Amino acid sequence: MSHHLVEVNELRYTYPDGTQALAGVDFRITHGEAVAIVGANGAGKSTLLQHLNGYLWPSSGQVRVGDYALTKQNLQDARRSVGMVFQDPDDQLFMPTVREDVAFGPLNLGLSEEDALQRVTTALRQVGALHLQDRPPHRLSSGEKRAVAIATVLAMSPDVLVLDEPSTGLDPKSRRQLIDWLAGYRHTKIIASHDLDLVLDLCQRTIVLSAGKVLADGPTREVFQDQKLLEQSRLERPLRLQGCPVCSLASS
């Protein structure tokens, strides 16, 4: 059985106040893929992510993680296999020290303290944050918080890594470090972002959401070259795919 598969069929979700956030979303993400989910504010990205490990239950349709449809019975299993990195690391880092925070997941999985601490060390080393382990989360910089938030998820050895706006609030250097790190991470990745240059660097495939529907799903470069599609979904071509104003002036 492969846990590395995420599939969404005819997914619909309406909030209690009547707002329809998802109006029939379909896609299938397979092992090792890096997929971006992009779209305007309110397009349904966050709502979609919240379905992937069962915070929200679809009004209709289905989410499949691995070979099974997500149900209340296999929820714990799905939450282990789909690791979610939140937009605001302050929401994710709730324990008094970095070490305890990273150990939270492994201990909940029933690991012994020794094994949990082993995982803490491995995960923190992976994101280059081992030196922060005794620090309280509120004394970390945004970049450090982000790295630790990713480590908290890695410590649970997820099969699929889901990141919600991972580059928000990072300075250019921290952003670049994050991109380099994510590029080296070989498991399945799903990244929701407005940072289309980051998407261009990391994801071979892009799903464009608009008004709760999939407007496009294809190779990232192709999607970002489609000017009409980008305008329709309130997006802009990534800076790197735009002509450089300085160079083009010089040549003209």
Site string for another protein, 198-227 (x = CB under 8 A): ------------------------------
Give whichever of 86 and 224 is closer to another protein, judged by the CB atom. Answer: 86
Contact positions with another protein (CB under 8 A) in 4-23:
none
Q: Which is nearer to another protein, 109 or 211 (CB)?
A: 109
Residue type, 130: L
In Å, how far from its chain's centre is CA 63?
16
Interface with another protein (CB under 8 A), residue from 2, 30, 31, 55? 55
Query: Rule CB under 8 A: is residue 42 a binding residue for another protein?
Result: no
Would you give the distance in Å from CA 25 to the centre of its chain? 17
Cα 38 from chain centroid (whole Å): 11
Q: Which stretch binds another protein (CB under 8 A): 7-15, 36-44, 104-112, 205-213?
A: 104-112
- Closest to another protein by CB, 108 or 227: 108
Specify whether the CB–CB gap between 228 and 186 falls below 8 A. Answer: no
Give the span between the Cα atoms of 190 and 239, in whole angstroms: 22
Q: Is the dihedral of CA 29, 34, 39, 42 positive or negative?
A: positive
d(CA 58, CA 10): 10
Contact between 45 and another protein per CB under 8 A: no
Question: CB of residue 136 vs another protein: minimum separation in angstroms?
Answer: 7
Residues 6 or more apart whose Cβ sits within 8 Å of residue 130: 121, 124
CB of 172 to another protein, least distance (A): 23
Amino acid letter, residue 75: L
Q: How many residues bind another protein (CB under 8 A)?
A: 35
Taking CA atoms, 166 is separated from 76, 128, 149, 189, in Å, by 24, 17, 10, 12
Please, which of residues 105-164 interact with another protein by CB under 8 A? Answer: 105, 107-109, 113, 117, 134, 136-139, 152-153, 156
**Interface ranges with another protein (CB under 8 A):** 50, 53, 55, 76, 79-80, 83-84, 86, 88, 90-92, 94-97, 99-100, 103-105, 107-109, 113, 117, 134, 136-139, 152-153, 156
